[in-house]
Chain A
Amino acid sequence: MKSSRNVMTFAGGIHPHGDGKSLTCYTPVQNAPLLDKYFVILAQNAGKPPIPVVKKGDRVKKYQLLAAADGAVSANLHSPTSGIVSNIRDIQGTHGVPTSAIEISADGLDEADSPFAPIPDWRHADVDILKQRVIEAGIVGMGGASFPTHVKLSPPEGKSVDTLILNGAECEPYLTADHRLMQEFPEKVIRGAAILGRILNIGNIFVGVEINKLDAIAALEHYAGDYGVKIAYLRVRYPQGSEKQLINAITGRTVRSGTLPMDSGCIVQNVATCAALDDAVTLGIPSVERIVTVTGEVVVKPGNFKLKIGTPALEAVRFAGGITEEPGKLVFGGPMMGFAQRSFQVPVCKNTSGILLIPQKQAYNFESSGCIHCGRCVQGCPMNLVPCLLSTAIEAGRFDLAAENHIMDCMECGSCAYVCPDHRPLIQNVRHAKAELRKQMNASKEK
């Protein structure tokens, strides 16, 4: 293994210039004022959405359980504030389709009543109790995938995991939520990592941080020694924060096609997830708020805000001082992998790391004339795929050919589309083909 003083990276990828991080990375995280209404979407985790345990008209306290996990791959949901459940209805979800949500009318008291107690002595606590806490607190991956964390914490029999990697790369342009979190709450991150290490019985813990966040690295290093955590310096390169690329950069291992990081003996967690875990264990509060970067050139005062789950995007933008001109696009997440939203009413979820407003002049229409197979996308692809071939195959309707060429290994990082000189919609094609292939797979399963 390489020494942690080296700056590590992976093959492929791109370097987005003008990454827009300076808009928000120097201002401290601000607390958001209390709102009248919060819309807590049920399906906030990958897998099955939880089932509501409250009904319309119920009075709830802050941190009270709103919906209970349905099965193993599901996560609990808690109330972000105290108030009355005014409705349970379908609202506009983060993926464009209506989704069920619990509407909470806040009473303005923000009265807390946590369903569980802190575990200050986590170093000696039973591992099962800690694991149980992860499940109770409804912690999901806050980097974007929103995969329930407790599932990752129970590796199946026969798989040995020896390395825990914390993902603090934050390679997406514009986003600085993790950066500010590491800089302002380094102990939370490091302690969360140590708790995870105790649950998994792993001593080999790394925090991978890109070297454009030297202030955050300095803050982390102050605590790292106390908890036996190592800091890995990463080169500034997109998508450095992708699970497989991170593992490759830090340990030199390759996660093979069709296998999980676990198969390579690694578990990757986002730093925000670790901070939420630390809150759940040492403070005894569930995951109901997160740091969100509200940014974009058209935002008056872009910055990072501690937002409660269920805050509509419109209110979040209002906290940031509103807008100077009509934006062209509203994106949840970063500009590379984020999802464009239909409406400003879409609320913040546990995996919303950023609310990005793209100016109209950047969200312009372009026309592509056709692939000339220049191969820039092949150079940029961190997964060693051939995006130009995939894209042309998909456009010709040959989804089988795309599948043959490992389209399912594509993580839709957008490096290929970023470097394409013809602005071809490579990622949209990939998503289209993946959806079609899944449809075909389901159809053949039914038969």
Chain B
Amino acid sequence: MKYLELTVGAVLVYNFVLSRFLGICPFLGVSKRLSTAMGMSGAVIFVMALASCITSAISNYLLEFTIAGTVIKLDFLRILLFILVIAALVQLLEIMMQKLTPSLYRALGIYLPLITTNCAVLGAATINAESGRNVLDSTIFGAFSGVGFALALLLFSSIRERLELAVPPKAFEGTPIALITAGILAMAFTGFAGLC
């Protein structure tokens, strides 16, 4: 039951993009094509799960420990360390993708290294640390937050593919109408509030 709550909460109720409004940059940047959005989703799920796992280990075991009777608190290092880990992970991902899926690598372009500064990833890690979850819970939360991000991205990119065919008033063409759509989508997601 606890895990159900954790996963459903991460995917739907507290969806990172549509409820917490984190990670908006890639949400708007790579949602023009469904295929690119799928690649991005995969990358984010991978980074979020792994980053949550490692950062939760760090915050549980490295940031507060006792040496020779004195308690050492390193909370001020949290963001620094988290970013270090996330940056390294994204670097790894980038190196691997360049080799394994060059076309996706080119399609994602600047948004791939930008996962480093994707606040959804850092947000997941920080939320884990704040709520004092253990490593397993954090990993599950991270992975499903990634799934939530993917869900939002896939929904939005599908809508945008259709939106491309529509003829909105001149002033709304392009990004404005996309932002309005994102707003409506976020409103729809408020319907999940209170589920858990």
Contact = CB atoms under 8 A, between A and B. Distances in A.
A and B touch in the complex (CB under 8 A): yes
Interface of A: 370, 389, 392-393, 395-396, 398, 401
B167 A398 contact: no
Contact of B164 (A370, A389, A396): A396
Interface in B64-94: none
Contacts of B166: 392
Interface residues of B, number: 4
12 contacts: A370-B167, A389-B165, A392-B165, A392-B166, A393-B165, A395-B165, A395-B167, A396-B164, A396-B165, A398-B164, A398-B165, A401-B165
B19 to A, nearest CB: 30
Interface in B127-171: 164-167
Contacts of A392: 165-166
A401 B165 CA distance: 10
Interface string B155-192: 00000000011110000000000000000000000000
A401 B167 CA distance: 17
A260 B166 CA distance: 35
Interface of B: 164-167
A423 B99 CA distance: 52
A94 B165 CA distance: 34
A398 B33 CA distance: 13
A51 to B, nearest CB: 46
Give the interface centre of B164, B165, B166, B167 by most chain A CB atoms within 10 Å.
B165
A74 B166 CA distance: 44
A368 to B, nearest CB: 11
Contacts of A395: 165, 167
Contacts of B165: 389, 392-393, 395-396, 398, 401
- Decide if the interface of chain A is mainly helix, strand, loop or mixed: helix
A331 B165 CA distance: 33
A139 B195 CA distance: 73
Contacts of A396: 164-165
A396 B160 CA distance: 13
A395 B164 CA distance: 10
B134 to A, nearest CB: 47
A392 B163 CA distance: 10
Nearest to A370: B167
Contacts of B164: 396, 398
A188 B154 CA distance: 62
Contacts of B167: 370, 395
Given A389-B165, A392-B165, A392-B166, 4 more contacts: A393-B165, A395-B165, A395-B167, A396-B165
A392 B161 CA distance: 12
A328 B16 CA distance: 61
Contacts of A393: 165
B54 to A, nearest CB: 42
A213 B167 CA distance: 46
A367 B165 CA distance: 19
B167 to A, nearest CB: 6
Contacts of A370: 167
Contacts of A389: 165
User: Shortest 3 CB-CB distances between A and B: which pairs?
Assistant: A392-B165, A396-B165, A393-B165
A384 B166 CA distance: 22
A392 B165 CA distance: 6
Contacts of A401: 165
A392 B166 CA distance: 7
A253 B186 CA distance: 48
A432 to B, nearest CB: 15
Nearest to B164: A396
Nearest to A393: B165
A401 B166 CA distance: 14
Nearest to B167: A370
A393 B167 CA distance: 11
A396 B161 CA distance: 11
A429 B38 CA distance: 31
A395 B165 CA distance: 8
Nearest to B161: A401
A22 B196 CA distance: 70
A370 B167 CA distance: 8
A392 B167 CA distance: 9
Contacts of A398: 164-165
A396 B165 CA distance: 5
A398 B32 CA distance: 14
Nearest to A401: B165
B164 to A, nearest CB: 6
A398 B167 CA distance: 14
A372 to B, nearest CB: 11
A392 B164 CA distance: 9
A398 B161 CA distance: 11
A335 to B, nearest CB: 29
A398 B166 CA distance: 12
B148 to A, nearest CB: 29
A397 B106 CA distance: 24
B194 to A, nearest CB: 34
B32 to A, nearest CB: 13
Nearest to A388: B165
B59 to A, nearest CB: 47
A401 B34 CA distance: 13
A267 to B, nearest CB: 39
A396 B164 CA distance: 7
A132 B165 CA distance: 52
Nearest to A394: B165
B159 to A, nearest CB: 14
B90 to A, nearest CB: 32
Nearest to A369: B167
A14 B165 CA distance: 27
